[in-house]
Amino acid sequence: MSKYFVLLGVLLLTAGLALAQEGNYPKVETSPEFMYIRTPISFTVPGSPTFKQSFNCAGGGGTFAYNVTSLLGLAADMGGCTYFGQTLGPPISTDVSGNAFTFLFGPRLTFRNRSRVEPFIDVNFGGTRLGLTCNNNVANLCPGNPSSSTTAFAMTAGAGFDIKLNKKVALRLVQADYLYTHFGNGCSSPLCSGNEQNSFRLKSGIVIGWGGSAK
């Protein structure tokens, strides 16, 4: 985990150098977004081959960011999604359903310029809550209880870019993040894939600027 805190330190150091920056930018940005998460999983069921597939989750959420300077912003990133298991195939895809909710907070660097394209990078820390429901306890994926939920540490690191449509509205064409979660022993389902889960998260939506003097 130390490498993630080193990354956060570098991000904050870079941001600190920009605290004196002036410029035209919105003080607050809200971003309703579509969200997709893909989690590679690997688990073994007694008497069956090892499953090595991907678990998919699609939904939506949003980001609320306060811009300290034109470069540095502090953001709250929330999102919820519903799992779909086509890559796992039946009966798992038909008998197991679930959802996830992420709540993350951290710094963002937005590289504003005279063009319509504004790239950004961010690092966030927080948690994720996973819920599972099994119509039948197929492959022991929901041991002990047909419905269960658990919360774990989560973090993201990623980048994206916005395309400005006018002074107050932009299109967030893509935001791609590495999503790390650590359910550990708190999740007894094989779908938790051991102590650590490494996922890919993709988001897109719109950005609305409030206050300040947006470009």
- Residue 215 in contact with residue 70, Cβ under 8 Å? no
Contacts of residue 197, defined as CB under 8 A and 6 or more positions apart, other chains included, come to 39, 41, 180, 181, 182, 183
**pLDDT tens-place string over residues 116-130:** 999 999 999 999 998
| Domains of the chain by residue range | 2-18+28-98+107-210
Instruction: Name which CATH class applies to 2-18+28-98+107-210.
Output: mainly beta
Q: Which residues in the chain land under pLDDT 70? A: 1-23, 42-53, 85-95, 135-146, 184-195, 213-215
Q: What is the pTM of this model?
A: 0.76
**pLDDT tens-place string over residues 69-120:** 999 999 999 999 998 765 555 555 566 778 899 999 999 999 998 899 999 9
